[in-house]
Structure 1
């Protein structure tokens, strides 16, 4: 039997301790490493935390004796004497925020008690070194805002800081939530009763909310512990793990630079958005990988090829800026932005195009960028929307094509490769004849192409979805006696859909064709105005209209094969 490698967690010393002990006995500070995630708890997470605390308090009464388990905390005592908090910052930061609200609430009644809260759990003072000790210090992106919002006392000259990034807003929201929750809890009580209620909340939090703290003095194996805990389902994120890996591999003098470069990556609004970017970045360069195995795949390649931390962080930072422009459709190329805006209309299913669009944006420029991205969109519409084929094989083709483009392939070869996989003209026409779509953005994008084709050289900027709606010619909810026999099969067919201004749409909602004709005739959209010339509307006429539309598919979604 092969010798089993020692599990890094086995050399760590786990022990159970209350939140108050973690905060009160910490000198030096508990420090969240700069490669760790920003504060990320949303109001729903904070609300669960609060409800659990209040449930425990109500159950235990005025003299609580039990305990409530909050999870695990991982702390590494470094050779320099710092305590690095590898896991648990969300719970500890949220606890500190609640304590700051209680501190401010009780100050007017018992200033000494508020001062004790401040010095014991939030900011102590080292009389030997003559300096303040922040009990909890967040990462480089959050620490100053957290200090000014939570840690410092709110005297008469206090001025609340302005949030700058998404995690700052989350910290502010958490503080605001607790201010409201405490206010509701003590509403209608006397000043003394308010103080006692606040102290009971604090006692339950500090003395009876417990964690399993895992301590070590082995800084070098901290990353391995971090990853092992992740494998055991504690829920550490890919961005956290990857930052840890890259910082650990960097030379000491490079680490500040790595942290600074990662600012562009971590400034996406959520962990999920960061993870999406990282996956799309990787896919556009190295091939498809599923989210659950993303970190392991990146780690394998980074270690096997000894990829430099600064080089990788620089590439990630540059690509994050590009990716943000793609998401916002706000690049310097107006025509490319139009393609990006149309991609967004197709919703979540079109996200498979983002790694390819990122590769195109970083590889080709000028007319080729618009040509390649337009062709990519046309392939997607034919394959995934009109023919309604499964996306996995298409992903393999387009991801391989963009990787080849990044190495040395031409734009022409890229277009030829992806176009050959798309449904043919005949297949696309046939599929369109029976096409039914429920996703509003997708059918709106398709109808816009037909409207623009009718106008040919005439410029038109069709207004946003809030102003121009998709209208069902035969209504979604027909009145009694007007329902078609095959209602469910026909109502969302493309031949039964048009575009109409929101104002006119409200006037004729769920009306029959005769009631809608006057609104159709007032429309500035040619495809809609043409409907008003008809004498009526039926399943036969709808099929006829859709067949005529189908013949236009090869022209409206052309493929570039040369």
Structure 2
């Protein structure tokens, strides 16, 4: 295609005349039962109206890859759900074989898979959507192949489990909505094919697509700062690094999720601990990255730093040092009634130091926050101090750190203050 952005309104049937891939750097399938059922409810309600008017489900951003397939840059949750719905409709309609209902599913089969030519002109068989991220394995292929009932729920990765649950939820929805009305199910499948529409936006390359994605989503509320940052990082990455960055990003997100803390909170603490001289809030964090591109000028290195911080973050929240050793002061902090977690900013800042240093900082924090708790003092007054101290420890040399544990408490605070002064 030319450098122009091409926008087409397509029915589901027209959309799935083409083949798509979900690149490895994309977010995995995360829709829950409520999101899946909301989409089906909306389509079903429109189907039930007089004359069954056309229904619009949104947009998707794509670009052609080197194999002449469409990479899905935005909208993959919705497209994957529609694709799973087609698999469910085919399977349910096949169950009416031998009855008065025509159980021929050829019109659905062509939207699920069809023969195609590869880049060398060889005839091959393709599923309309192919998932590239590792955790999906072959789950979507198995559903597309009609093996949904054989998948089961044992030994599935999180992404596989989400897709399998979507399949079972959709199938249950169809059965609850239509019961034994096989003709009604076929009519609903035809409605989905011919009257459910979405806009497909095609761009010249992946970077162009990512920029459009950024423009659309940074002006709305559909994605959180971590999603937008991920897009920003990939926009500035070399294609050859996509897979490595994606692996680092996924592991970082797994650690953040395991910490039970909001991803946006981790991101704010990460930025404050290592980069910013003041705290930024959730509404400001994405703009901060836009204004400070030098901080992630080397995206692969940045993704590694983010991963190491996420690992340390999970450990600190659980009461352990980054090396896995138990920290009794952090364990004590977990038992205190204060709900503030701002002290994690300072802990992240020392996460690259040695364990003795981490222990002493944790002891300092445990004593400090205990005093604030028993005196009912608002810990918000400490916010600027945590940022100041985070800057301080980043300036303390390895020689000062080696003597930190042996120094008196007053000296420790002095070292922190000196570090803060040096960081001005």
Aligned length, in residue pairs = 394
Whether the aligned pair in 2 keeps the contact of 1:166 and 1:269 (CA below 8 Å) is no
Question: Are 1:300 and 2:291 counterparts?
Answer: yes
1:171–1:381 Cα change, 3 Å: farther
Whether the aligned pair in 1 keeps the contact of 2:245 and 2:300 (CA below 8 Å) is yes
Whether the aligned pair in 1 keeps the contact of 2:57 and 2:197 (CA below 8 Å) is yes
Q: State the partner residue of 2:78.
A: 91
Q: State the partner residue of 2:363.
A: 374
Shift of 1:306: 6.2
Q: 2:413 aligns with which of 406, 416, 422?
A: 416
3-state SS of 1:137 partner: strand
Whether the aligned pair in 2 keeps the contact of 1:107 and 1:114 (CA below 8 Å) is yes
Q: State the partner residue of 1:4.
A: none
Q: State the partner residue of 1:528.
A: none
What are the residue-to-residue correspondences of 1:36-435 with 2, within 5 Å?
36-60=26-50, 64=52, 66-78=53-65, 81-110=68-97, 113-118=104-109, 120-126=110-116, 129-154=122-147, 158-160=150-152, 162=154, 164-187=156-179, 189=180, 193=181, 195-233=182-220, 235-267=222-254, 268-269=256-257, 273-287=262-276, 288-301=279-292, 303-304=293-294, 307-329=297-319, 335-336=326-327, 338-345=328-335, 349-366=339-356, 368-383=357-372, 386-389=375-378, 391=380, 393-408=381-396, 410=401, 416=413
1:346–1:253 Cα change, 3 Å: same
Shift of 1:401: 0.7
CA deviation vs aligned residue, 1:47-68 (integer Å, no higher than 9, x gap):
22222122222224xx52x122
1:347–1:57 Cα change, 3 Å: farther
Q: Aligned partners of 1:73, 1:414: CA distance in 2, in Å?
A: 59
1:18–1:349 Cα change, 3 Å: farther
3-state SS of 2:137 partner: helix
Whether the aligned pair in 2 keeps the contact of 1:402 and 1:414 (CA below 8 Å) is no
RMSD: 3.3
Shift of 1:72: 2.1
Alignment TM-score, normalising by the size of structure 2: 0.80
Q: State the partner residue of 2:5.
A: 12
Shift of 1:398: 0.7
Shift of 1:334: 5.1
Whether the aligned pair in 1 keeps the contact of 2:140 and 2:163 (CA below 8 Å) is no
Shift of 1:397: 1.0
Shift of 1:107: 1.7
Whether the aligned pair in 1 keeps the contact of 2:389 and 2:416 (CA below 8 Å) is no
3-state SS of 1:36 partner: coil
Q: Aligned partners of 1:265, 1:231: CA distance in 2, in Å?
A: 22
Shift of 1:117: 2.0
Whether the aligned pair in 1 keeps the contact of 2:10 and 2:200 (CA below 8 Å) is yes
Q: State the partner residue of 1:532.
A: none
Q: Which runs of 5+ in 1 are unaligned?
A: 1-9, 421-562
Whether the aligned pair in 1 keeps the contact of 2:61 and 2:74 (CA below 8 Å) is yes
Q: Aligned partners of 1:414, 1:85: CA distance in 2, in Å?
A: 56
Higher mean displacement: 281-290 or 240-249 = 240-249
1:154–1:316 Cα change, 3 Å: same
Whether the aligned pair in 1 keeps the contact of 2:392 and 2:416 (CA below 8 Å) is no
Whether the aligned pair in 2 keeps the contact of 1:72 and 1:214 (CA below 8 Å) is yes
Shift of 1:11: 4.8
Whether the aligned pair in 1 keeps the contact of 2:268 and 2:280 (CA below 8 Å) is yes
Q: Which has the larger radius of gyration?
A: 1
